[in-house]
Amino acid sequence: MQPGPLPLCSGFGDVELLLPEWCHADKHRRPAIRRGRVCPLLPQHVLDCSQELDSEADGRKERGTSLSGPGSNAEETVGVRTVLPVLLALLKVRTMIDVPCGDFNYMRAVLNANATPHGIAYHGMDIVTTLVQQLEATFGTASASHKMRHHISFSRFDLASEYLWPVDLVIVRDILFHFTAERANDVLRRVGESGCRFALVTYFPRVHNNVAARKYQAGKGFSSYASWNLEQAPFALPPPLLSIGWDGARADRVVGLWPCGSLQVSSG
């Protein structure tokens, strides 16, 4: 019998308490119906699970698909779009780095959510120079003609070779599975040594890394793929403080929250 899908959010009680009522299921694990929407515990309903996105007249048309690939689409970012605004408030995040930021698709919804505290300094970074130049011109605070809720900026950055700086939260989503275990471990070490408070990182807690290594598909650029479990060797991270489910098309994929000091364990 195949294990069931991982929950929307687990491991951090305060986040569960602060999530909107429509995000919870009853004791029989049936979907909770609130205001005509189904709790994102069932994948077939993920497009309609975000109240704040659905309240925007053109939100679904504009953000339904992403130039960065399906991993940034509305369907595959239900977990982070629902939980992250609450988490930003709970952790008192004032500064954050999002690397790689891709085309800033789902993060726009996160920053515009009602639950997200005002005044966050967001810095998105990506290795594609033309992309970050366009994002800075379109969404950057320096280019804005009106007052914005947050300070938003973008720049080019190579996560595999450059060093980060201290912020409250670093988001490393949808990238480590393109790397070999050695390269992914090096990225985790760099994040851990940055002096940041917390990091959100994509990983696969039900995967055995010996199997992932055998199935690793080397390719050009980001066509390489391996489903790394960061709690197993060679990473050997402690369990995350929080796991956000419904991230991507695979039911066994989550985004884990670690104190950045914990990521330095991986370098040993």
**Domains, in order of start, for the chain:** 84-267 (3.40.50.150)
**pLDDT category of residue 13 using cuts at 50, 70 and 90:** low
Q: What is the pLDDT of residue 203?
A: 94
Separation CA 28–CA 34 (nearest Å) = 16
Residue 28 has pLDDT above 60, yes or no: no
Q: Decide: helix, strand or coil at residue 96.
A: strand
27-52 burial, b at 16+ Cβ within 10 Å, e below that, comes to eeeebbeeeebbbbbeeeebbebbbb
In the chain, % of residues over pLDDT 90: 49
Cis peptide before 5 (omega within 30 of 0): no
Which is more confidently placed, 1 or 85? Answer: 85
Amino acid in position 98: D
Q: ∠237-241-244 over CA atoms, to 5°?
A: 100
pLDDT class for 110, splitting at 50, 70, 90?
Answer: very high
- What number is the average pLDDT over the span 18-43? 40
Question: Is the per-residue pLDDT at 74 higher than 90?
Answer: no
